[in-house]
Structure 1
């Protein structure tokens, strides 16, 4: 009983100490007063609009801010009361909905210290953390997790795949005070580990011994040419030979056309360049491994996780095709609060899917390509195939998936 009371008391104290540093749900138009567009010269920045998009679960609750202009940079940020993360978890969480089926563009947040000037934010503005999805073509579909240390932006050395559909997804980064981290998508852990192992934030613990060299007599060849193997006497044959079946054309004029020569063909007897067969090397010692020593430049950092000052968050993006909706931005040290903040995500996603299916169906019917029409058309194609060539291409029904 006493043990249970201690746990309850601990939970109560933790809850009392846990703090939400910043939360933005874009519930009304007040966001336009709190967030500042950059006026950095030389860029044509796009605008955000508050909307739930074309398909949603609950129109009012699902409203966020959406990129509204194609082929634009976006630079929008806000500041809040500064805080440090010493001895605390840091949780960064937000939702992203690429309802435009994004082809190339960012969907991430940047976290700043108090040096941020919102009206001058741009791509080179220094930041503390960058986190979120980035998509560009089929080759880039990743979650960026970048940590700034000593003025250098360091990218995680793991490949974390992001969601690439058109529905709302939640991205969560948790950095713990024991120098570990977690990345969650839709509340499910997709990556985690130690900061020191997964970023090059510190010099390596070990380095190759600069005084060590591979011995001159070290043989790392697994196989060698057989010294007893000899090239057969009949091996050398020309690669090409005159075509024995070719004959000089009747109308060939040696004076006008020059001396006739038969065309060349591949020689069926050509065996290629001869090389002795390989045998196991009796002197093989295996691959030489360079000895390592402790790196004199390495010093462990117990508080590698710590951010001394955070007081700004921004969207600093480029998008080819606009339409991404950002919402539910949260910065806290309360892991449980962050979990509860996206408790209704599954319901939101299911509602979006139903709404999109209804829109797709209406669009298809308007274009005369309902599911029944498609089926009937497929049957007609099969009948036509009986009367036409087997390689006839059936008519392709226009895809109305993109809205």
Structure 2
């Protein structure tokens, strides 16, 4: 998963053909708006996912396998979000169907997905930060249309855009300059700025939106800065700061929570620890798991609404909110064991305390009942997501038990590695 290595490779992107094929979300939005057919967004998302699969199978020789996995997972997000909206889109007033704003419910998921594609494919870190910021603004605009959500949404995006500025300045300063006496001084100053900015962009300590679809789209936007963290991990100081940031993020979630532990913000703390200890495979695992968990929540809530309208007994909303996190718990415990081998004694104690405190908000006693009830809905996608979450956990446990877990990788920037 050599995101950081690719970031300093020559050229703007690895493969022009691959980059062109992954521009399909922007093309789809233009076609739907020009044709005045926003109700076809779901079908076009299916076609785009198929195109992405073919692109990865035929043109992925110049990117790392980690990037290919991330691109493949992100290609399915628009399908999951738009799959249940066909009837909702048909309800648009025909005389306003030409308006771009009228179809934004269908367009925003595609636009944000396109921004994430570009952030994952483009090599220069500043280009990745730009597209990540663009996706963040789009998502905040979509979230902030409701009056009660407008202020919180724009406060979060203001903080994350400030992180873009800090991260950009830090990454440029790390390259050195005449302002600093030595290259080592520039490296140390730059990595502090870059680390602070990237953590702000990832939204450490800040809850995701309560709306499941927005939280699903936000996963990719929050993890793109985390994939750039290995650029900063070039000195012991940077690695220590990352570990501290991860522990503080975990602590802020479990101490400042009101009710249940939010899955995305909690996993971000583990992800920063994985980046700080050089466990890039663990970082990829967490990204895949939280995407599957957020997708499970979207599909479960949609199915619960359908069943409620049909007169079936509905599960308590809290059960559907906490089920994805309950399903991720075995993976998080395995990740904690892997990270503990690379952490100091004090950091291990802090990680263990945060993990134990987080268990209080997971309502584990409700897992069997909620799991069986959801499984009996006979929804193929729900069952597939549940199986994939379980398989991801079993794969991690198997690799760890057989001793096949790769050694932590330390990124080298301009020949500096300590």
- TM more than 0.5: no
Query: TM-score w.r.t. structure 2 length?
Result: 0.21
Relative to its length, the structure with more helix (as a share) is 2
Higher RCO (CA-CA < 8 Å; seq separation 6+): 1
Relative to its length, the structure with more strand (as a share) is 1
Query: TM-score w.r.t. structure 1 length?
Result: 0.22
Rg larger for: 1
